[in-house]
Structure 1
């Protein structure tokens, strides 16, 4: 039976399907769940990056807590969206907003790459040896 016949029969019986179910009927279930898993991962990464960037903008903890709550409310506002294409658009919009409002000089832990103490004590060049017996060489 064609897709239209099935929909007509369901409407005759009084059954209705949501738009996401109609879209999902044409897509395999494994592909649907793989796409949803990828979306969840992108949202998780976006939230963590935005939360860490909020800490760069907030100087004091009480300001950070308020900003973090506002950020969480923005994410929770779209928590119940089921349409896959709309979720992709929301994620793309969130990523563009994050890139637009990123801190120009983020805090970096001093000993991490890009920090002020990173590679402060570089490894010695290849021809230098370290002698550990401090001049107490064996004298035959």
Structure 2
């Protein structure tokens, strides 16, 4: 991936996307809200530490380290909402196709 210049909209979107992925990864690992909240604060602090970086190469390295850490902590069985694809309720009660009750052309 090419280097992204710091303080641009593309960089902000990339960091925000990584932050959301990190929050989902933390949620998959912890089901108690207190523990999850503590983890989110740690994740936010890790991102805030690198907020000042203005060198594109150094920024790319910091983002690469963060992505590697995300891959390391990826949960083997992530949480999937029950009604989403892959969830336990997904397409459980598919509506039955109804035929006319009385045959014939009325």
Query: Deviations 1:76-135 (Å, cap 9, x if unpaired)?
Result: 1111111111111111111111011111111100110111111223465xxx6532xx44
Please, which of 112, 116, 138 is the counterpart of residue 88 of structure 2?
116
Contact 1:110 1:117 in 2 (8 A): yes
Query: Deviations 1:9-28 (Å, cap 9, x if unpaired)?
Result: xxxxxxxxxxxxxxxxxxxx
RMSD: 2.7
**Going by fraction, where is helix more abundant, 1 or 2?**
1
Alignment correspondent of 2:24:
52
Q: Which runs of 5+ in 1 are unaligned?
A: 1-30
Question: Comparing both chains, which one has the higher relative contact order based on Cα–Cα distances under 8 Å and sequence gaps of 6 or more?
Answer: 2
Which one has a bigger Cα radius of gyration? Answer: 1
Spell out structure 1 runs of 4+ moving beyond 6 A: none
Alignment correspondent of 2:56:
84
Q: Which runs of 5+ in 2 are unaligned?
A: none
Please show how residues 55-134 of structure 1 align to structure 2 within 5 Å: 55-122=27-94, 129-131=98-100, 134=101
Q: Count matched residues.
A: 103
